[in-house]
């Protein structure tokens, strides 16, 4: 470990800093006896003002009696105060930028009355960018074809399909309306668990495979008893790998009837005169989506290149905080992950979390070095453009962003746009 020199902070707090892996630092601190005595007197005086000692009015008891009577309280508060304030002074004097709560150790009194202790803490990584230009990125050449347009049209037809009752056995792709009730060991129905008139599309994967297989081939009005083995990854732990018997009653079998692909269908989708106009709009939308996806892929490839060219260590505390936020966000892509699954899922998500943090810090550092940070004027221009697009006054858009805490997010977004523009300008983008 490389050590810095010893520096002296205000109030005679001596600090020696040791670098540790993953942007962690160890601070060895010493608070001089004079400082200890000054802080001790303040604590004794504070206790004396509040102390209730028989025979003395509050605040009038002799100091030595107060120190003797409340020695344990004074010692506890003194140590807590000195460790906290000493650590804070050491951080300031060392110019560190902690990103987590420190851990303290080896707290001890020296023979001369000084307090010595150690603290370890994760700090914001110092980024030195060795290479930021000259990257070579290949853009994948892709085009939208007729088959892509036809797939979207078919999806729209499926979304607007009617479901018609049929007098035949149910097959994959049909919808089945049915009742089900589990049976006990004596084949008696457990009425409390009955589900009535449940509708499911066969082949959609919404049912346990054995249950879906038990519905295939059934006709409306048919009753049957089926045995269902629940998979080992079933959401309900009580049912995993368990076999249960169910009595089912099929009420209806329905097949999908697609609307004809004609001009009336095009008009039902939106403001389109005919199928050709609908297809043209779909093609334009797909081409726009493809262009945006291609740009995102180029951006991500550039980020991978600059991360590989500038290795940095991300503090473990930041990784843990990032993972905790991901798994606790009810509105996020993962939802709120149960506590029992967080450790395993955290290991799966860790590489992505580390990359996201490296991306953030490298981009921020590049913006600082090249002067790419969005200015107040840039933010106001973006607000005005958004207001014009939404038919609002800029002041109202600003108030809405302020209420939602989105002003800094907007500034960050604008900065990142400028960072990517700079990276593209100083890199070579070729067709694959």
CATH number of residue 65's parent domain: 3.30.70.1050
Element spanning 106, H or E:
strand 103-109
pLDDT of residue 340: 73
Question: Do residue 279 and residue 427 come from a single domain?
Answer: yes
Question: Do residue 396 and residue 308 come from a single domain?
Answer: yes
Question: Is pLDDT above 50 for 302?
Answer: yes
Tell me the HSE value of 165 on the side-chain side, using a 13 A CA sphere.
Answer: 8
Element spanning 245, H or E:
strand 243-257
Question: Do residue 376 and residue 249 come from a single domain?
Answer: no
pLDDT digits (tens, 9 = 90+) for 187-220: 999 999 999 999 999 999 899 999 999 999 999 9
pLDDT digits (tens, 9 = 90+) for 317-362: 888 888 888 777 766 666 677 777 777 787 888 898 889 999 989 9
Question: Do residue 310 and residue 194 come from a single domain?
Answer: no
Q: How far apart are CA 383 and CA 396, in angstroms?
A: 10
Please answer whether residues 210 and 228 qualify as being in contact, where contact means their C-beta atoms are separated by less than 8 angstroms: yes
pLDDT class of 418 with cuts at 50, 70, 90: very high
Residue 411: inside a domain: yes
pLDDT digits (tens, 9 = 90+) for 110-145: 988 889 999 999 888 888 888 999 999 998 889 999
Question: Is pLDDT above 70 for 379?
Answer: yes
Residue 130: inside a domain: no
pLDDT of residue 370: 93
Question: Do residue 181 and residue 293 come from a single domain?
Answer: no
pLDDT digits (tens, 9 = 90+) for 14-56: 899 998 888 889 999 999 988 888 888 888 777 777 766 666 6
Tell me how many degrees the CA angle 419-421-426 measures, rounded to the nearest 5.
Answer: 95
Q: pTM of the full predicted structure?
A: 0.66
DSSP per-residue letters across 338-396: -HHHHHHHHHHHHHHHHHHHHHHHHHHHHHHHHT-PPPHHHHHHHHHHHHHHHT--HHH
Chain-wide mean pLDDT for the chain? 88
pLDDT of residue 61: 66
| Percent of the chain clearing pLDDT 70 (strictly above) | 91
65-74, 94-103, 347-356: least confident range: 65-74
Domain limit, last residue, from 257, 284, 299 = 257
CATH number of the CATH domain containing 387: 1.10.3120.10
- Burial class of 184 by CB neighbour count within 10 A (0 to 12, 13 to 18, 19+): exposed
pLDDT class of 285 with cuts at 50, 70, 90: very high
Residue 269: inside a domain: no
pLDDT: which is higher, 247 or 314: 247
Residue 135: inside a domain: no
Q: Structurally, how many domains does the chain consist of?
A: 3
Residue 148: inside a domain: no
Domain extent for 213: 162-257
Residue 27: count other Cβ atoms within 10 Å of its Cβ. Answer: 24
Task: State the maximum Cα–Cα separation within the chain, in Å, rounded to a whole number.
Answer: 102
Please answer whether residues 109 and 26 qualify as being in contact, where contact means their C-beta atoms are separated by less than 8 angstroms: no
Q: What is the mean pLDDT of residues 82-99?
A: 89
Q: How far apart are CA 393 and CA 333, in angstroms?
A: 33
Question: Do residue 419 and residue 279 come from a single domain?
Answer: yes
């Amino acid at each position: 470990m490389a050590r810095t020199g010893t520096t002296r902070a205000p109030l005679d707090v001596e600090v020696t800093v040791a670098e540790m892996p993953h942007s962690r630092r160890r601070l060895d601190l010493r608070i001089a006896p004079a400082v200890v005595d000054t802080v001790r007197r303040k604590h004794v005086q504070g206790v004396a003002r509040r102390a209730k000692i028989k025979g003395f009015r509050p605040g009038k008891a002799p100091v030595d009696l107060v120190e003797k009577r409340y020695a344990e309280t004074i010692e506890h508060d003194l140590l807590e105060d000195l460790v906290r304030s000493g650590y804070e002074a050491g951080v300031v004097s060392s110019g560190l930028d902690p990103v987590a709560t420190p851990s303290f150790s080896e707290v001890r009194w020296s023979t001369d009355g000084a307090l010595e202790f150690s603290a370890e803490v994760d700090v914001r990584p110092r980024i030195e960018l060795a290479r930021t230009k000259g990257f070579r990125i290949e853009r994948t050449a892709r085009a939208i074809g007729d088959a892509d347009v036809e797939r979207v049209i078919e999806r729209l037809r499926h979304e607007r399909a009617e479901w018609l009752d049929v007098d035949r056995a149910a097959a994959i792709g049909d919808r089945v309306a049915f009742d089900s009730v589990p049976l006990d060991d004596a084949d008696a129905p457990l009425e409390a668990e009955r589900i009535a008139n449940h509708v499911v599309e066969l082949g959609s994967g919404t049912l346990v495979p054995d249950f879906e297989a038990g519905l295939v081939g059934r006709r409306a009005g048919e009753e049957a008893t089926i045995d269902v083995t629940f998979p080992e990854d079933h959401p309900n732990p009580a049912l995993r790998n368990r076999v249960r018997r169910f009595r089912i009653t099929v009420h209806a079998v329905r097949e999908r009837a697609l609307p004809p692909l004609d001009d009336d269908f095009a008009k039902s989708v939106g403001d389109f005169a005919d199928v050709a106009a609908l297809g043209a709009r779909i093609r334009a939308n797909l081409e726009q989506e493809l262009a945006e996806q291609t740009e995102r892929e180029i951006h991500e490839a550039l980020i991978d290149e600059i991360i590989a060219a500038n290795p940095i260590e991300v503090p473990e505390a930041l990784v843990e905080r990032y993972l905790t936020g991901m798994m606790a966000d009810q509105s996020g892509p993962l939802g709120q992950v149960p506590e029992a699954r967080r450790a395993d899922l955290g290991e799966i998500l860790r590489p992505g979390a580390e990359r996201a943090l490296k991306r953030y810090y490298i981009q921020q550092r590049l913006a600082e070095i090249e002067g790419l940070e969005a200015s107040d004027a840039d933010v106001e221009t973006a607000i005005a453009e958004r207001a014009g697009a939404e038919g609002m006054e800029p002041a109202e858009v600003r108030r809405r962003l302020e209420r939602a805490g989105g002003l800094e997010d907007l500034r960050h977004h604008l900065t990142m746009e400028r960072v990517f523009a700079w990276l593209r300008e100083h890199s070579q983008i070729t067709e694959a």
